[in-house]
Amino acid sequence: MKSYPYPLLKPPSFAWDRSAAPAEPKVNEWIETLEVAHADQTDWSAVDATILGIPLSRSSISASAASENPDAMRRAWKYFTTYNLDHDVDLSEMRVVDLGDVRQHVTDIARCHQNIREAMQAMRTHHPQVLPVMMGGDHSITAMLIKGYKDAHPHDRVGILQLDTHFDLRDLADNGPSNGTPVRNLIESGTVKGEDVHNIGLHGFFNARSLKTYADEVGVCYTTLREARKQGVAQTVKEALESLSQRVDAIYLTVDMDVLDSSYGPGVPASTPGGMSSDELFEAVHVAGLCYKVKAMDMVCLDPFKDRGEATVKTAVHVMLSFLTGYKQRLK
Amino acid sequence: MKSYPYPLLKPPSFAWDRSAAPAEPKVNEWIETLEVAHADQTDWSAVDATILGIPLSRSSISASAASENPDAMRRAWKYFTTYNLDHDVDLSEMRVVDLGDVRQHVTDIARCHQNIREAMQAMRTHHPQVLPVMMGGDHSITAMLIKGYKDAHPHDRVGILQLDTHFDLRDLADNGPSNGTPVRNLIESGTVKGEDVHNIGLHGFFNARSLKTYADEVGVCYTTLREARKQGVAQTVKEALESLSQRVDAIYLTVDMDVLDSSYGPGVPASTPGGMSSDELFEAVHVAGLCYKVKAMDMVCLDPFKDRGEATVKTAVHVMLSFLTGYKQRLK
Amino acid sequence: MKSYPYPLLKPPSFAWDRSAAPAEPKVNEWIETLEVAHADQTDWSAVDATILGIPLSRSSISASAASENPDAMRRAWKYFTTYNLDHDVDLSEMRVVDLGDVRQHVTDIARCHQNIREAMQAMRTHHPQVLPVMMGGDHSITAMLIKGYKDAHPHDRVGILQLDTHFDLRDLADNGPSNGTPVRNLIESGTVKGEDVHNIGLHGFFNARSLKTYADEVGVCYTTLREARKQGVAQTVKEALESLSQRVDAIYLTVDMDVLDSSYGPGVPASTPGGMSSDELFEAVHVAGLCYKVKAMDMVCLDPFKDRGEATVKTAVHVMLSFLTGYKQRLK
Amino acid sequence: MKSYPYPLLKPPSFAWDRSAAPAEPKVNEWIETLEVAHADQTDWSAVDATILGIPLSRSSISASAASENPDAMRRAWKYFTTYNLDHDVDLSEMRVVDLGDVRQHVTDIARCHQNIREAMQAMRTHHPQVLPVMMGGDHSITAMLIKGYKDAHPHDRVGILQLDTHFDLRDLADNGPSNGTPVRNLIESGTVKGEDVHNIGLHGFFNARSLKTYADEVGVCYTTLREARKQGVAQTVKEALESLSQRVDAIYLTVDMDVLDSSYGPGVPASTPGGMSSDELFEAVHVAGLCYKVKAMDMVCLDPFKDRGEATVKTAVHVMLSFLTGYKQRLK
Amino acid sequence: MKSYPYPLLKPPSFAWDRSAAPAEPKVNEWIETLEVAHADQTDWSAVDATILGIPLSRSSISASAASENPDAMRRAWKYFTTYNLDHDVDLSEMRVVDLGDVRQHVTDIARCHQNIREAMQAMRTHHPQVLPVMMGGDHSITAMLIKGYKDAHPHDRVGILQLDTHFDLRDLADNGPSNGTPVRNLIESGTVKGEDVHNIGLHGFFNARSLKTYADEVGVCYTTLREARKQGVAQTVKEALESLSQRVDAIYLTVDMDVLDSSYGPGVPASTPGGMSSDELFEAVHVAGLCYKVKAMDMVCLDPFKDRGEATVKTAVHVMLSFLTGYKQRLK
Amino acid sequence: MKSYPYPLLKPPSFAWDRSAAPAEPKVNEWIETLEVAHADQTDWSAVDATILGIPLSRSSISASAASENPDAMRRAWKYFTTYNLDHDVDLSEMRVVDLGDVRQHVTDIARCHQNIREAMQAMRTHHPQVLPVMMGGDHSITAMLIKGYKDAHPHDRVGILQLDTHFDLRDLADNGPSNGTPVRNLIESGTVKGEDVHNIGLHGFFNARSLKTYADEVGVCYTTLREARKQGVAQTVKEALESLSQRVDAIYLTVDMDVLDSSYGPGVPASTPGGMSSDELFEAVHVAGLCYKVKAMDMVCLDPFKDRGEATVKTAVHVMLSFLTGYKQRLK
């Protein structure tokens, strides 16, 4: 096992006490924290998934503290058991390692983005069989993560399943690689083909018409939430994944938490009335977890400072666990 | 004096800068503000709808800051594009003018009510082809607005589609024309016939039995939310409008925001558990917007001081835009 | 009529003014407060139901102010009429008496529990035809209340319909009779058979796997929320009650308010994403109210200090009133 | 088209209607907004002060929405008259122009900083007799503003009066020109001499010892709040200004709002227990306004998203007005 | 004893349980509630003070729920003992009766004002030796209360000690007898002479210059907070009372809670930075309670919906109790 | 070194990452966490102080989450440097070890109290030269801690300096050893003499008269806040300590955080208007830290669930650090 690129990572600022973890752990007692000093000795072949925090939201168009989300999610792990009663799956039968956070710089956003890209490349290079799960941060990080993925797997055709209220197809010429641009960034840079993106969750008055026009021109697939609900969101996701699976080598799942209705996602500044319920979202990501081509996922744009208590942060943790439930079922 | 370095500066954003409105405006850049000094020169024949604020809530039974709602909605316009992705409709192809607010008096509620009535009469007299949209204020204003409508169109038979958790049929003898009385006020004054009122959204323990008895006596139509959901709220609204359309000349849509479930309408003091979801309400008003007989609408009883952030205020703006989407489709 | 066991009870700290209650009362004007000084003269044969506050939450695993819920619910009665429009039922045709609260001790939880048990036994002994409705407090009280019920009716086989996100089957050996243990407490003490418990509402990652294993071993019935929704929660409840009714003499309905989704139950610290909506819960308890074998009910684990305004407290009052609606329909 | 019934209508209030400003205006009716299209015609010789918003907080070490402060302060102007009763001074006898905001870039912080520097240089070049007042933004902007000042007045020796809980002397090598570095930035770049900086407000455990050591090495003057209170904060400020005035040509007043005690400054994330009261701060800036050498001032690090209502934003507006009161007294 | 004017009063909507009041009562167990049915039998000669709620805030310029303050204060009585440790005074040695609230009308503000005036007249006629304490409501009520006082005592010269951030001298011609006008109302109606009003607490930018000019013209006395603090607020109040006592027969103390600094009065919408501390206010009203000429007092403009918890409501109760402490000391 | 009594302790649920602590640590990087597994090897002679969490608030009369305070304070350590600028003292020159929390039981409060007592005895027995600092919890713990102290030092005469709004002299016969009783508990059990208790901070209406009578009977010393302010709180504390020092062997400092004014202590449910400022409290505990006889201290009754952000929790940390500053100065 080659050494791990420590310089880009820093451990979480706090660690849960796992010494006394019982036979039936809580999620915080189950997920391991990478001990940086001994990272070389980690047996990555026994690890099923890694978790990585990306505490960057300086690149957000609106002021955001989504940078605080990775630690907020870690603190909320304690509210969850590892056992999914709905599917009779126990996540603790998998090994999941929390790598900590990608190092960020206060005043140089380009360097932040580069660090994120390199961290993803490193993960995919050093332990390509391990599933990476990323806790953002704002949506600008997705472009960097997928570029990093391509750096490690240059010959893979990569598709995207996007659960989002927005297209995220804004023009980079306006304000650089902000959180409004990741999908366009990937298409324009040739990283991903327009037709290999499928967005589910669009609705209402939250996208300029020109973005739809652009989406149509570059062939981005999308199903509005109103349409998706006709046969159920989960079934719509399933069909989109089957279609994507036929033409790409890997699917990256990106969950913009603003896809939630504002009553379900009070901690997401950009959540809107008319969005998804928590329940619909859990089912959707569970289906994605089951799909063999899904190789990575992220959750973005949750600002814990705006949350009502920790309600939305808990929802995000549940999204992660529902996804991992599908992944666990896939592994068996 | 040398010229000032404009490129680095931009004006404060909250004085909605329409001069720089892009090709694809936000709602605040699209809706025009009436310039009072030049109101005479306005070409009303090119205007499709007007927006009017009615900042009155002294007439509310419970203490309310619904008077602050018109400005709160205006501030929240900036969160919306003019493009409705669900229906592929661009509202910016219509012209909508914000007339400002009806003047109110601090200690003379009767004068406030009279001003409201006269403002509606004036609008209907000066530009009867323009659709008026009113942002309340509490529900007492609806009686005044419909009376003003009748003042301008004395020979029109006017019906009401009411989305509301309450009958609003309280006795005026108790406390005058408060927000609990508008529908009774209109029936007792002979402005509207009981049978020309259809209320959709009643449920639970929020109306005294005597009000139901009165409603039955005067022939008010109503469908409880529980019944409406059996075939869907939107379909129920559609059928109610078709029935009303056969017997009245004009239908006035009044949306008491307390029809929302309290999880969807935290900013509505009278919202209740068991009420409508945002999604159901958007569909309902969209259907109403499509109906040719619907000639005016209002939204009432939202107190932005009680809101969670601006969640409910945004929902109210979405209600207005969903209604205008139907109206736009009707125009074409 | 035998005298009432005053020593265990204390009146509510405040009382609504009922002197001027109109023909159509609000709930606070309808529910009578037991006048302790004249309790001997109460004609219990004319009383249909009693309400009892159990202000105990020191026994909660997590810090909780559920002890404040009984008074919070009393204060929120004023928001409700007695008339249920959905079912055309007027609760004011029943007589309901608020007995006040069971006395609690600050530092002796065992004594608190004993008081609760004795209060239930006393109620069932002195006026067994009256339906008791209990406002908790945390879920530890349910074990005491059902034991008190059995003390009064030792030959009755008692079943439980539990609406809950959790099994509440934790081991008492760990931390005594806390709010995580009531169902196990009842099973291990032989008060209730495992097979006579039916839990509806479980979901997600909120129960350790060992609890499911234990539930299976002792035969506890359960339907996850995901399964229940396939045919509707109300229908699932109806079938569970029919099944229980065939083998038990009395069914005790316990509503852990944490069964609500956290968007619908912001005042329930243990509410979770993916839970029930208010509407589903109202329908479920209405169905339970209709069932002849249901002889008592409680609502627990609502912490009004954590509520958003009084939204969840109002929801709890609505739960009580929806249940009483079914009960009223049963009586006729 | 017949005329419209103006008497009943008034324009929306938040587009500050200055046309109808009464003889005694509110602050929002008094401060003029620069009309960019006609900026060339402005007679700057009649202007006493300009106000400039600097909506930058991406450069903040901790996540901050101080970028929203300029607009928040503008919205809060309406709560203030122009008349200072304590000093019998009417600010409306001065002309103050709001220039709007310096344009910012979403992902290029260096460009943001350059824009700020150039804006200050331009102001000082085009109308050097006008006092500039800046509403931040985070404290990183102060370095840019003073550099811009020096660009315009390269031969002026500039001093700083800093009201702050922190030294702001962190090493730029760590994370670039963030909000922890402005004073060091100015000293290391040779813009300001260490001895020409006087900080009043330091206290408690909020500065690393090495920063004090650095301050001592480069000769920065400071008076802890505890010392300042012995003779009064205002008197301490007065003496510091007199001392600075003897050796510099111009004094720049920078008010880090975190100097407030956290009970007085709930909207300042970095405010601390043991800080200044509002009253002490108003007196301090009033004294600074009176000092002839004070040529510019800024207020920074207030995050209106964290405020309790608008309490701290109003306090910031009062700081600005108290400073302008002194300036007005100086002018006469 | 003549009968009491019941029609204008209604009892509080709830009453504290006094049946079990211990030897050492809490304030809620001490203050008696007038039993309207037996009001005729009350021995008023044994009563020292009455408390009256005035739940009117429709007359407030800004939207306000100060109407909810009387009940909010009653609920907060439970937090206080009757024993003042600072002065070794036990209030429970006095008899204080809560008369309930003056009836209000929803849509007729003039009738509300008339009811208030008549209620004061009735109190002063039926039991003139009893001290009335009023819980507002907004400040418009003070004009009505003092007019009612004069109706009962037409030959008394009445003075006012006003603790307030504002003059409350706005022109009634603008918007009628709102909360901005009470002092002017009294002066213009000849009820009180300008020179018999002394305002302590003015500061900052919260009064138009014209109001100061008017105050000077009609001879209103005032001491700014800044001036008052030089010798202490309590001493300033003492001297003002001594001066007033020499020329008037009775002094009415009116406490506009907006005199508090906004950190001390978060529940007062008009509280400002730079205002009084709670401590200064308690000392001030204690001094007023000691003054023999002070015959009545009110507290106004506290909106409990805006409070942080019940912090400001508790402060208002403390104001009332501190005043009553002085009154008790005066009685002995 | 004898072994440490592990059974009673559990480590904090999380630990700060100290691996990368810089030369100038934050408080969270400075305070060491006891590694339970290697506690035997700890060289206690090099340790200056220990910190112990006491997460018990079930014994509180009012519902309280003060049990969450120890972890809340630990999380807030990160906001503080170890360097006290006011006194030029660097705490990092001392060694302070966080022992974790005393184990608590959910339903057996007596066992909780016994654990606390034994933990204190163990600390004083195993490393008597180390200063213990306790983070409560409610005030009932103080009686147990001082009893544990006496168990270890049976021949020491122990005095108490109490900073508190209340006497805490309630009768244990009423509800057991709750948070209203600790001082009486200690006096009645003969642990501490009444005359060896000095309370500073009493004021207003927050103690029954009988408690003052009891205090006088048993000789408890007290200085009201009003009296203390005449010469300054710090000076009053100094004199009280000097007086106590003459007659006792050890002084225990107990800080009930409710001594703070409610504007300074929003997170203390029992804080009151008219209480201490943060600044006064910091000075008071600093003086206590300097006193050689002060051998232990605790901070109690802070409920972080009620805090405004973390304002009060930060204040509590500052109290601890201000006390340790004095202790550090004493050591040198």
**Three-class DSSP category at E1:** coil
Residue A116 Cα, gap to closest chain F Cα (Å):
22
Task: Output b/e per residue, D113-147; b: 16+ Cβ within 10 A.
Answer: bbbbbbbbbbbbebbeebbbbbbbbbbbbbbbbbb
Residue ranges of alpha helices (H) inside B219-277 are 225-231, 233-245
Which token pair is D261? Answer: 């005690």
Contact F16 A13 (CB under 8 A): yes
**Interior angle at CA B184, CA B182 and CA B187, nearest 5:** 110
Would you place residue E88 in the very low, low, confident or very high pLDDT band (cuts 50, 70, 90)?
very high
Residue E75 Cα, gap to closest chain D Cα (Å):
24
Residues of F in contact with D226 (CB under 8 A): 86
Q: Is C273 on the interface with A (CB under 8 A)?
A: yes
Q: Is D264 on the interface with E (CB under 8 A)?
A: yes
Compute the distance between CA of residue A8 and CA of residue A23 in angstroms, rounded to an integer.
34
**Region F194-210 average pLDDT:** 97
In this complex, the chains that touch C, judged by 3 or more CB pairs closer than 8 A, are A, B, E, F
Contact E17 C13 (CB under 8 A): yes
Q: What is the pLDDT of residues F29-56, one digit of tens each?
A: 999 998 777 777 888 999 999 999 999 9
Asked if D316 contacts D273 with a C-beta cutoff of 8 angstroms, the reply is: no
Is the pLDDT assigned to residue E160 strictly greater than 90? Answer: yes
Residues of F in contact with A37 (CB under 8 A): 19
Nearest C-alpha in B relative to E176: B107
CATH at residue D265: 3.40.800.10
Would you place residue C8 in the very low, low, confident or very high pLDDT band (cuts 50, 70, 90)?
confident
Q: What is the pLDDT of residues C164-188, one digit of tens each?
A: 999 999 999 999 999 999 999 999 9
Specify the DSSP element, H or E, that contains E210: helix E209-218
The whole-angstrom distance between residue D176's C-alpha and the CA centroid of its chain comes to: 22
**Region D37-45 average pLDDT:** 80
Compute the distance between CA of residue C83 and CA of residue B206 in angstroms, rounded to an integer.
8
- Candidates F207, F266, F308; nearest CB to E85: F207
Q: What is the pLDDT of residues F17-28, one digit of tens each?
A: 777 667 788 999
Q: Write down the residue that tokens 């039993």 correspond to.
A: E35
Q: What is the pLDDT of residues B163-222, one digit of tens each?
A: 999 999 999 999 999 999 999 999 999 999 999 999 999 999 999 999 999 999 999 999
Would you place residue A321 in the very low, low, confident or very high pLDDT band (cuts 50, 70, 90)?
very high
Specify the DSSP element, H or E, that contains D223: strand D221-224
**Region C243-259 average pLDDT:** 98
Asked if E61 contacts B106 with a C-beta cutoff of 8 angstroms, the reply is: yes
Report the percentage of chain B scoring pLDDT > 70: 92
**Three-class DSSP category at D268:** coil
> C293: Cβ–Cβ under 8 A, 6 or more apart, which residues?
C159, C241, C244, C245, C248, C249, C250, C251
The whole-angstrom distance between residue D83's C-alpha and the CA centroid of its chain comes to: 20
Compute the distance between CA of residue A221 and CA of residue A109 in angstroms, rounded to an integer.
30
Helical pair D109-126 and D140-152, crossing angle rounded to 10 deg = 40
Compute the distance between CA of residue A146 and CA of residue A253 in angstroms, rounded to an integer.
10
Closest-CA residue to C199 (of C225, C180, C177, C179): C225
According to the model, what pLDDT value does residue E316 have? 98
Compute the distance between CA of residue D255 and CA of residue D273 in angstroms, rounded to an integer.
18
- Confirm whether D135 is domain-assigned: yes
> How many domains does the structure of chain D reveal?
1
- Candidates A80, A86, A309; nearest CB to C226: A86
Which token pair is E280? Answer: 């200064």
According to the model, what pLDDT value does residue B124 have? 95
Is the pLDDT assigned to residue F286 strictly greater than 70? Answer: yes
According to the model, what pLDDT value does residue F170 have? 95
According to the model, what pLDDT value does residue A1 have? 40
Is the pLDDT assigned to residue F5 strictly greater than 60? Answer: no
The whole-angstrom distance between residue E206's C-alpha and the CA centroid of its chain comes to: 21
Q: Write down the residue that tokens 């106590």 correspond to.
A: F244
Is the pLDDT assigned to residue C130 strictly greater than 80? Answer: yes
Residue type, A270: A
Identify the bridge partners of residue B133 per DSSP, sorted by sequence position: B51, B297
Is the pLDDT assigned to residue E22 strictly greater than 90? Answer: no
Phi then psi dihedrals of residue D270, to 5 deg: -95, 10
- Candidates F224, F273, F306; nearest CB to E278: F273
Report the percentage of chain F scoring pLDDT > 70: 97
Interface size, chain B vs chain E, as Cβ–Cβ contacts under 8 Å: 56
- Confirm whether F3 is domain-assigned: no
Is the pLDDT assigned to residue E143 strictly greater than 80? Answer: yes
Provide the domain limits for residue A34.
Answer: 9-331
According to the model, what pLDDT value does residue C1 have? 39
**Region F175-186 average pLDDT:** 96
Compute the distance between CA of residue C69 and CA of residue C319 in angstroms, rounded to an integer.
14
Asked if C119 contacts C9 with a C-beta cutoff of 8 angstroms, the reply is: yes
According to the model, what pLDDT value does residue C34 have? 86
**Interior angle at CA D321, CA D319 and CA D322, nearest 5:** 65
Phi then psi dihedrals of residue C84, to 5 deg: -95, 105
Contact D209 F81 (CB under 8 A): yes
Closest-CA residue to A151 (of A117, A101, A109, A185): A117
The whole-angstrom distance between residue F119's C-alpha and the CA centroid of its chain comes to: 15
Residues of F in contact with A15 (CB under 8 A): 14-15, 17
Average pLDDT, chain C: 94
Task: Output b/e per residue, F276-310; b: 16+ Cβ within 10 A.
Answer: bbbbbbbbbbbbbbbbebbbbbbbbbbbbbbbbeb
- Confirm whether E47 is domain-assigned: yes
Residue A42, exposed/middle/buried by CB under 10 A (0-12, 13-18, 19+)? middle
Q: Which segments of E20-64 are extended strands (E)?
A: 32-33, 49-54
Report the percentage of chain D scoring pLDDT > 70: 92
The whole-angstrom distance between residue E257's C-alpha and the CA centroid of its chain comes to: 9
Residue ranges of alpha helices (H) inside F84-232 are 109-126, 140-152, 172-175, 182-188, 209-218, 225-231
Q: What is the pLDDT of residues B145-160, one digit of tens each?
A: 999 999 999 999 999 9
Compute the distance between CA of residue C286 and CA of residue C282 in angstroms, rounded to an integer.
6
Is the pLDDT assigned to residue D5 strictly greater than 80? Answer: no
Closest-CA residue to A322 (of A142, A163, A167): A163
Compute the distance between CA of residue C25 and CA of residue C47 in angstroms, rounded to an integer.
18
- Confirm whether F133 is domain-assigned: yes
Compute the distance between CA of residue F286 and CA of residue D203 in angstroms, rounded to an integer.
14
Compute the distance between CA of residue E47 and CA of residue F108 in angstroms, rounded to an integer.
48
Chains D and C touch (3+ CB pairs under 8 A): no
Is the pLDDT assigned to residue D2 strictly greater than 70? Answer: no
Report the first-to-last Cα separation within chain C, whole angstroms: 25
Compute the distance between CA of residue A133 and CA of residue A130 in angstroms, rounded to an integer.
10
**Three-class DSSP category at F111:** helix
In this complex, the chains that touch D, judged by 3 or more CB pairs closer than 8 A, are A, B, E, F
Average pLDDT, chain A: 94
Q: Is F25 on the interface with A (CB under 8 A)?
A: no
Model pTM greater than 0.80? yes
Would you place residue F1 in the very low, low, confident or very high pLDDT band (cuts 50, 70, 90)?
very low
Q: CA–CA distance from E287 to each of B185, E293, F213 (Å)?
A: 53, 12, 26
CB neighbourhood size of E129 (10 A): 9
Per-residue DSSP letter, F85: T
Q: What is the DSSP string of F2-13?
A: PPP-GGGEE--S
Compute the distance between CA of residue F259 and CA of residue F319 in angstroms, rounded to an integer.
12
**Region E189-206 average pLDDT:** 98
According to the model, what pLDDT value does residue E1 have? 40
Phi then psi dihedrals of residue C50, to 5 deg: -120, 155
Per-residue DSSP letter, A210: H
- ipTM of this predicted complex? 0.95
Which token pair is F117? Answer: 């007592």
Would you place residue E24 in the very low, low, confident or very high pLDDT band (cuts 50, 70, 90)?
confident
- Confirm whether F92 is domain-assigned: yes
- Confirm whether D3 is domain-assigned: no
Q: What is the pLDDT of residues F304-317, one digit of tens each?
A: 999 999 999 999 99
Q: What is the pLDDT of residues D58-116, one digit of tens each?
A: 999 999 999 999 999 999 999 999 999 999 999 999 999 999 899 999 999 999 999 99
- Confirm whether F297 is domain-assigned: yes
Report the percentage of chain E scoring pLDDT > 70: 97
The low-confidence residues of chain B, meaning pLDDT below 70, are 1-22, 36-37
According to the model, what pLDDT value does residue D1 have? 40
Closest-CA residue to C98 (of C30, C26, C149): C30
Specify the DSSP element, H or E, that contains D239: helix D233-245
Helical pair D69-76 and D311-331, crossing angle rounded to 10 deg = 70
According to the model, what pLDDT value does residue D13 have? 60
**Region D171-185 average pLDDT:** 95
- Confirm whether D2 is domain-assigned: no
Q: Which segments of chain B are extended strands (E)?
A: 9-10, 32-33, 49-54, 83-84, 89-90, 96-102, 131-136, 158-163, 197-202, 221-224, 250-256, 294-300
Number of C-alpha atoms within 13 angstroms, CB side, residue B153?
19
Nearest C-alpha in C relative to E36: C19
